[in-house]
Amino acid sequence: MSQDTPAAAQRTTSVNLVRSSNPWTQANSAAGFVLRYLVTVRRQLLAILGSSDHADECLKLLIAHLVSVGFGEYKKGKLRDFLIRAIRSTAKTRLAELPENQRSGASIESIMNDNEKWLSLWRTGLLERAWRSLEQLEHKNPEMPMFSVLHCATTKPKQPGQPLAQRIKAERGLELTDARIRQILPEARAMFAQLLADEVAETLEKPTPKDVKIELQTLGLTKAFDGIVI
């Protein structure tokens, strides 16, 4: 996530799709940047190889390669495309090292850039990072509990029909009036959308508002921007 995240005092109900100025192709450390997405990459490797041990060995290969030569000639386009190539390459290398009877039956070559499984995992990873960033903002400014309010408002409640204020108190230990919740919620939605836009922008080579919109559409993330000024 970009380090230029606005202070919680800078409230907003609009989104700048290209606020982030840290695209992956300009990262000082290829390995360091990819570490942000290691959980997502591991999930795809596990789906292909069916083994945590094999997935972890592939991750070691990937990180060692990035430490040694960086992004190399593939330093262009979308980060998710670079990573799926790396996933296919490391998985093939790992399988070649195993006895034939220990190799999974997965078709590695079928795992392409726009494979729905990969897009779904990538989408989930971006959403998780945006949620973590919103939670970090709340830790820095607990007087503006955007994460607590938005998370409780948008995730499935443990007790159906429970009023939002009661749910926030039960799950987050915060006592907020309905009026305060109504004040925070639109700002929380906009901030979450901004953080998500930042995540997407940083995974593109030279992001423009149009590029970010297209990627959001491809990944099925546009719902997060409903009703928000862009």
Please state the rounded mean pLDDT for residues 52-66. 95
| Digit-coded pLDDT (tens) for 167-184 | 999 999 999 999 999 999
pLDDT at 157: 85
For residue 225, pLDDT over 50 is answered with: yes
Please state the rounded mean pLDDT for residues 66-94. 93
Distances (CA, A) of 218 to 44, 113, 172, 184, 215: 18, 12, 34, 29, 5
pLDDT at 49: 87
Q: Residue type for 56, please?
A: D
For residue 214, pLDDT over 70 is answered with: yes
pLDDT, averaged across the chain? 89
For residue 68, pLDDT over 70 is answered with: yes
For residue 211, pLDDT over 80 is answered with: yes
| Digit-coded pLDDT (tens) for 8-17 | 334 557 899 9
pTM attached to this predicted model? 0.88
How many CA atoms are closer than 13 Å to the CA of 192, on its beta-carbon side? 28
Q: What is the three-class DSSP state of 229?
A: strand
pLDDT at 114: 73
Q: What is the three-class DSSP state of 14?
A: strand
Contacts 24+ apart (CB under 8 A), 148-157: 148/172, 148/174, 149/176, 149/181, 149/184, 149/185, 149/188, 150/185, 150/188, 150/189, 150/192, 153/185, 153/188
For residue 156, pLDDT over 90 is answered with: no
Give the percent of the chain with pLDDT over 70: 89
Worst-scoring range by mean pLDDT, 7-11, 55-59, 133-137, 158-162?
Answer: 7-11
Please state the rounded mean pLDDT for residues 93-107. 72
Q: What is the three-class DSSP state of 111?
A: coil
For residue 64, pLDDT over 50 is answered with: yes
* CB-CB contact of 226 with 13 (8 Å): no
